[in-house]
Each structure stands twice: as structure tokens, then as C-alpha cells.
Amino acid sequence: MGTVALPEMKRYNYDRALSTGAVAIGGTLGVVIPPSVVLIIIAVQTEQSITKLFLANIIPGIVLTALLLATVFFMTFRNPALGPPGTRTSWREKILSLTGVIEALALFSLVIGGLYAGWFTPTQAGAAGSFGALVIGFARRSLTLKGLQQAIGETLRTSAMVVLLITGAVLFGRFLTVTRLPFDLAEWATGLPIPPVGILGVVLLIYLIGGALMDALGFLVVTIPIFFPLATALGYDPIWFTVVLTLVTTMGAVTPPVGVNVYIVSGLAPDVPIQTIFRGVLIFLVAYLIVLVLLMIFPQLALVLPNSLL
């Protein structure tokens, strides 16, 4: 997305901090909004329903996206020079430009809708999504043999990485179970003379710092076997806790000193200083904090869909 969006925003003289910050923070939405590889790995580790975790993240993901859009609107409304208006287009041109988006939404609806309706298992839903993407590519005559080979190669690399991560996570989880470290930690934490919300705050701070220092997926894989039993022992709903953890750790992907997404964007826009990108990201973190506060006050934001639809 960065290779497409950044040159266009540069061509229209968008503020570099705003444009690079928006792309960096937008890259975190792929972890929060399903289908998400991170959610699948957490579900396997904690033996939760993948479908329930996908449903639980829909409303928080929509709220987060709306707040990020509102942040851009607020900044450009207050200072139009940050995002100069482009050439006006007619409604017909706007509707015609949505053709590719409509196809992507239809494919997304097929995969997620099929999971919810019980038509597919998660594996079958992935196969249906792949087949749908092939059909769209051939129908639009945009899928070449070289492109197909590249897509297969990238899929194999990603799949191998995910399988290796899951294997390591399961082995690490079994090791921790044998040592009883998670259970001892849970017993120690529940015995602390502070309320459960205080313990939760410490855990979330650890995830925020950890996500800033290393890859969010890797950090979650290592720490879930330790902190997940602790959260359940404190009485927190496992689905709600997973949603909160995902949001907090994802924030770490755009915060210094090692904001992975920021460095990726820096590689796509080498003419923009790294500190400028971090500065552009900071204002967007307010949206994440608002969603976290809303989840603390209204846990049903994450629980209403999985509890009512399944």
C-alpha cells in the first residue's frame, strides 16, 4: 500500500509527516481487522475459536478505522495545507473508480460471511478466498503467469513462516505448562494486594513496551502462554483480553525506538527523516487510546458479535 499511496500523496503535495504517518498507522489495521494472521496464531495458541476472534475484532476495528479517518479530517480541516484538495471529480467518475474496491469487498464478504454462516471452516474459507481472487484476476485479465508465480511464491514463504511460528509457539507453550510457570505467575499475581485492573495495567504496559522493541507477532507468540492464563485467572473474558492485547501490541509497531512499521515506511520514502514519520504517527495513537478506553468501559464492543451470532 505504501508503494501506491506515498507517491500519489507526494504528487499532490501532502504534508510528509501526515502522509507517512497515515501509511504507517494504516498498516497496523491488518492485525486488528480480520482476516488476521495474528488472530489465527493466538487462537491456535489459546485454543479459542478463530471465528469468534474474527467477529470480536470487527466492531473495535471499525471504530478504530473511523477514528483514524476522523483524525485525518480534523488535521486537514484545521490546517488545509497538510492535505491540499485535489482536482474535483464527478460522482460518475467516483463510482466507476470503486470497481476494484467493490470486488475486494465482495471477496471479503464471501470469506467472512462463509465463516459466520458455517459454509466454510477457516481452511476452506482461505481456499474459497484464493479461488475467488483467481476468478477476479482472470475476469479482469490482470493476472499474468509471472504474477501468479510471484503470488504462489510469496504465499509459500508466508505460510512457511506462520507454520514455523505456530510450531514454536505450541512447543514453547507445552514447555511452560510442564514448568508450571504460567500457573505460578497467575497465583502470584492474583495474590497481590492490588485490584485486578491494576495487574491488567501492568500486563498491558509490558505488551506496549515489548511491541515497541520487537515484532508484534513474535512478542505475542512468546508471551501469550505466560499472560493468557493470568488474565483468565483474574476473571477477564479470554476473547475480550485477546482483542485488547492485539490493540496494545499493535501500537508498539509504530512507537519508538523500534517501530517496525515506521522503518518499513522509511524504506519506501527514504527522503523523509525517520523522526518526521514518528511525529506523524503520534497524533494517530490517540485513536488507539480512545478505543482501548472504550473497550475497558464497554467490553461488549468486543463480545456482542461472538456472543449473539455464535
Among 107, 111, 102, smallest CA distance to 40 is for 111
Q: DSSP letter at 254?
A: G
Q: What is the pLDDT of residue 176?
A: 66
Per-residue pLDDT band for 70 (boundaries 50, 70, 90) equals: very high
8 Å CB contact between 30 and 36: yes
Question: If you average pLDDT over every residue of the chain, what do you get?
Answer: 83
What's the rounded mean pLDDT across residues 74-95? Answer: 85
* Residue whose cell numbers read 473497550: 295
pLDDT higher than 90, residue 290: yes
* Residue whose cell numbers read 471465528: 51
CA torsion, ordered 156, 161, 162, 166, to nearest 10 deg: 140
- Say which residue, 13 or 108, is predicted with more confidence: 13
pLDDT tens figures, 109-141: 888 788 777 788 877 888 888 888 888 888 877
Per-residue pLDDT band for 300 (boundaries 50, 70, 90) equals: very high
pLDDT higher than 80, residue 187: no
pLDDT higher than 90, residue 292: yes
pLDDT higher than 90, residue 47: no
pLDDT higher than 90, residue 62: yes
* Residue whose cell numbers read 467493490: 102
The rounded distance, in Å, linking the Cα atoms of 99 and 160 is 33
Residue 276: Cβ within 10 Å count: 18
Distances (CA, A) of 29 to 25, 102, 203, 214, 253: 7, 19, 22, 18, 11
Which region among 38-47, 218-227, 246-255 has the lowest average model confidence (pLDDT)? Answer: 218-227
Q: What is the pLDDT of residue 8?
A: 85
pLDDT tens figures, 88-106: 888 888 777 777 677 778 8
Which region among 84-93, 136-145, 188-197, 265-274 has the lowest average model confidence (pLDDT)? Answer: 188-197
What's the rounded mean pLDDT across residues 25-35? Answer: 85
Q: What is the pLDDT of residue 173?
A: 63
Q: What is the pLDDT of residue 310?
A: 64
- Identify whether 35 is preceded by a cis peptide bond (ω within 30 of 0): yes
8 Å CB contact between 267 and 200: no
Q: Domain extents for the chain?
A: 2-309
Q: What is the pLDDT of residue 87?
A: 78
Please name the residues in contact with 58: beta carbons below 8 A apart, sequence gap of 6 or more. Answer: 33, 34, 305
Q: What is the pLDDT of residue 216?
A: 67
- What's the first-to-final CA gap in the chain, in angstroms? 34
CA angle 24, 30, 35 (to 5 degrees): 175
* Per-residue buried b or exposed e for 233-267, using 16+ beta carbons within 10 Å of the residue's own CB: bbebbbbbbbbbbbbbbbbbbbbeeebbbbeebbe
The rounded distance, in Å, linking the Cα atoms of 19 and 22 is 5
Per-residue pLDDT band for 294 (boundaries 50, 70, 90) equals: very high
